[in-house]
Structure 1
Amino acid sequence: MADRSEPRPIVPLVLVGLGVFLLVVAILMPTYMTGRLEKTPLDLEITTVSTGTGTVLNAASLTAGRAQIDQNVPLVSQRFVTTEEPSDSDTITVQAGSTLRRTDKQGDTGLLTALVDRVSADRKTAMPVDPVGTIQAQGDKPAEEVPHTGLQYKFPFGAEQKTYPFFDTVARQSFDMNFVEETEINGLPVYHYTQTIAPVDLSTVVNLPTNKLALPADTWGVPGGSVPITMTRFYENTRNIYVEPKTGVIVKGEEAVHQYYARRAETPDVDVLNATIGFDDNSVDFQLGKAREGIDQISLISRTIPIIAAIVGLISLLVGLFLLFFRKGRGTPATASGPRTSTAPPSAARPARGENRDFGDERTEEIPRTDLRKPPQQ
């Protein structure tokens, strides 16, 4: 007789293979996929709005012969950030257009400052990859090359409780941004950082006529009558920002800005701008949403999917091994060629003469054999 081979255990092998695959996925995904996910998106299009009130110099009053400082002026600062070229898998170039307006005046009379900043940064660390960026502070003049040396629009993924360099577009240099505390905004844990910028002589930063002016003392409102007094424009700031550490998203920002004319940096004579301006509620909510979206994506790849893959993989592997070894332990009788010998007793193997044998639904009766060699009896 032909050999009958045992069928291959397909299902157990498939379960074992699936289990091993899922366990490998659970191990590699947090390290490989999370690193690829923790990069600044290349489709940035973010608008933030900051509001506040403060004192503002009426610039037209200088030409009228007497400096006029307006009090309790409503202010709004708007910044629009987009992704530009060149940008690739490791680097992103962003362009930010910023304006500061007083909302109690219309059109150009209400515009206080406007600039366009452009910088390329590492998509993971958020640090500039090329020290040269550009700033355009005057609409009628081309952008100037300005070295960018610190963070600006975002913190690195996995921000730490430490000091970072943070670039200021007015002073055009970086200053320390120091960690203050861990706190919460609308239930989301954030890191609070602060930056203090001591008075900066803006005439040494940008060569503009308005950064150093010689006007009569009476115009400045200081003693001296018609004697020309040269005043220098200074800038100082205290900046507080709140960062979601896993994504590096700046969810809230506030600045106490002070620009003034003075003969000495430590003694302001005429305020140009003195105001505290911070993200409005809509901007905070939008940034919180971006941070939570990023956290969910990172958690899905680094935690949720690996845990599910590990559990399902382990179960699949154990079930597959159990079925495989259970089949082997149970065993299958081997089939040999040649006549089959019965171990049943003779009495069970051959029915007695005259005994009925049952073959399923048919019943047969054994008939006595007749000796054909003997002639029939007459």
Structure 2
Amino acid sequence: MALSAGTRRTVACLLVGLGALLLVAAVMIPTYTVKQLAKTPLDLEITTVATTAPDKPGEVLDATSLTSPEGSAKVDTGVPLFSQRFVTIEDPVSADVLTIQAGQTLRRTDKQGDTGLLTASIDRVTVDRKTGEPVDEVDGGPNGAIGATVDKNGQTVMDPVQHVGLQYRFPLGTEKKDYPYFDMNARQTHDIKFVEETEINSTKVYHFQQSIAPVDLSTVVNSPANKLSLPAAKWGVEGGEEPVTMSRWYTNVRDLWVEPETGTVVKGGEQIHQYYARSADKPEVTVLKGDLVFDENTVESQISVAKENIDKLAVYGRVLPIAFGVLGAIALIAGLVLGLFGSRGTPARAGGARTGTPRQTPPNPGQGQPFSEAPTQQIDISKSDKQP
């Protein structure tokens, strides 16, 4: 059934409007939605676990040996280490910034309860939700705080600390270049250098590495344990009962494997070494030494997070814009064609178009019909035969 001219115009307008709407959506989805996906979510909760390998156990100073009346400092070897970090989002938060809080503990799993706890810390930093970089300031003060000591009531003491550089995530579209990276223990920023592109469980990742030269922790955190004066014999060095003062030093080699599209840290590892020494280049008593790497469950969990975000980026960044763009173009063209060409009338048939009034046919003079009704001029024969 053919559409009337009015109906055709209505359908054409609807198609043009729908096409324009779809084309606008094709442009706006990657522009707006992908920007939202690029931001760190406000409901972020991440737990990571790193352990020493069974064939590469750690070394830990027996702290009680430093205070015992007899014997020198004792360092336990073959110690299995377990590090856990729990990341959450705290205030202040907004559309553009959020505050990341990371609580981290390090334990030796060959001892139970508090006797197995080696270190505990809390790190808090306010960052840009898009880039992951710390903001310049919070309420006119430092952008973060670190708690590594406790007061007499056992409460963590949070020291205001200005953070500079990446820490818990890399930017969307991570590049093959060096990035500034903040080390919480040294409270310093050093470049984490791009090493190579590789794969972990069939997922493309970028490998970065950061080296921290020895740092005197007594200049970083005001803690009695970071500088000790003990008899030389207790340190296990020459000098008998002569007091010897040693500082606690920290060094680290950090490796991170990052999924580049989302900036997700898929795998991490740290080669930590803390020791007492009178000089940075001559370790004398090991405090902590271990090669800690994300366990397999953590790696799989981080890969799942990365793939989920990759799929979202693909849907909103490519699939939907292309689909909406194609459908919009088709609807727009169809509407224009229908509007421009569908409004023209159907050509008239040969011999004239039919109307609602029958065509009048001149009468044909026939038998019994007066001659005068014929559509020609009459000729009076009687007059023409008379002679003048």
What TM-score, normalized to structure 2?
Answer: 0.83
- Residue of structure 1 equivalent to 2:374: none
Q: How does 1:60-79 map to 2 (within 5 A)?
A: 60-64=64-68, 65-79=71-85
- 1:159 paired with 2:165, answer no
Which letter does structure 1 place at the counterpart of 2:359? S
Is contact 2:232–2:243 with CA below 8 Å preserved after alignment?
Answer: yes
Structure 1: runs of 5 or more not aligned: 354-378
CA–CA distance in structure 2, aligned partners of residues 325 and 169 of structure 1:
68
- Residue of structure 2 equivalent to 1:173: 188
Shift of 1:36: 2.3
CA displacement, residues 168-207 of structure 1 (integer Å, 9 cap, x when unaligned): 1111111111111111111111111110000000010011
Is contact 2:149–2:223 with CA below 8 Å preserved after alignment?
Answer: no
Which letter does structure 1 place at the counterpart of 2:259? E
- Of the three residues 78, 93, 97, the one matched with 2:99 is 93
- Residue of structure 2 equivalent to 1:192: 207
Shift of 1:39: 0.3
- Residue of structure 1 equivalent to 2:198: 183
Shift of 1:12: 2.3
Partner SS state of residue 143, structure 1: strand
Which letter does structure 1 place at the counterpart of 2:11? V
- Residue of structure 2 equivalent to 1:273: 288
- Of the three residues 128, 136, 156, the one matched with 2:147 is 136
Shift of 1:73: 0.3
- Residue of structure 1 equivalent to 2:219: 204
Aligned residues: 342
Shift of 1:213: 0.9
Change (3 A) 1:340 1:233: same
CA–CA distance in structure 1, aligned partners of residues 93 and 110 of structure 2:
40
Shift of 1:144: 0.9
Partner SS state of residue 80, structure 2: strand
What's the % identity of the aligned pairs? Answer: 54
Shift of 1:332: 7.4
CA–CA distance in structure 2, aligned partners of residues 339 and 311 of structure 1:
47
- Residue of structure 2 equivalent to 1:120: 126
RMSD over aligned CA atoms reads 2.2
Is contact 2:274–2:288 with CA below 8 Å preserved after alignment?
Answer: yes
Change (3 A) 1:327 1:215: same
- Of the three residues 306, 312, 319, the one matched with 1:291 is 306
Shift of 1:339: 8.8
Partner SS state of residue 191, structure 1: strand
- Residue of structure 2 equivalent to 1:214: 229
Which letter does structure 1 place at the counterpart of 2:6? P
CA displacement, residues 116-150 of structure 1 (integer Å, 9 cap, x when unaligned): 11110000010111243111112335211111111
Change (3 A) 1:230 1:329: same
- Residue of structure 2 equivalent to 1:369: none
